[in-house]
């Protein structure tokens, strides 16, 4: 009886999973390529009640590729639900790390933003 209930529970969890197959209307990653002659930092804006911070950052050398992955979800679904994904390209010489959250309008002041998507 325990094994039957456990099997039923595991089956329910697997069926309720939100995994989606990649295809024309579902992309799990966005790939960026650093086309400049200098290293750059890609960072996502993260917001909470305390303000904003640039998180999940990656330093890309010239010509290097970087992928933002959503392994279980589609970018199209995430963005269509009213969510946003603010990506910043920042100069590594002035990138504010490890100082916590600050006013969202201060991102370009505390970081040398080269591009904001």
Task: Name the residue ranges covered by the structural domains of the chain.
Answer: 21-116
> Distance (Å, rounded) from C-alpha 23 to C-alpha 27?
6
Query: In Å, what is the CA distance from 1 to each residue of 4, 11, 13, 14?
Result: 5, 15, 18, 20
Does residue 35 contact residue 89 with C-beta atoms inside 8 Å?
no
What is the average per-residue pLDDT within 86-103? 87
- Write out the two tokens for 62: 């010239």
Q: Is 57 helix (H, G, I), strand (E, B) or coil?
A: strand
Pure H helices in 1-117: 2-15, 75-80, 107-110
User: 0.85 exceeded by the pTM?
Assistant: no
The mean per-residue pLDDT over the stretch 4-22 comes to 49
What is the tens place of the pLDDT at every residue in 17-29?
Answer: 445 566 677 888 8
The 10s digit of each residue's pLDDT in 27-75 is 888 888 999 999 999 998 888 888 888 888 889 999 999 888 776 778 7
Cα separation, 31 vs 11, in Å, equals 34
């Amino acid at each position: 009886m325990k094994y039957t209930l456990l099997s039923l529970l595991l089956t329910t969890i697997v069926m309720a999973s939100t995994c989606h197959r990649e295809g024309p209307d579902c992309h799990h990653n966005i790939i960026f390529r650093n086309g400049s002659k200098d290293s750059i930092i890609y960072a996502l804006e993260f917001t909470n009640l305390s303000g904003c911070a640039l998180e999940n950052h990656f330093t890309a050398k010239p010509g290097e590729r970087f992928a933002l992955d959503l392994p279980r979800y589609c970018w199209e679904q995430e963005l269509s639900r009213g969510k946003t994904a603010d990506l910043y390209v920042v100069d590594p010489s002035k990138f504010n790390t490890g100082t916590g959250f600050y006013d969202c309008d201060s991102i370009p002041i505390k970081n040398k933003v080269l591009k904001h998507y």
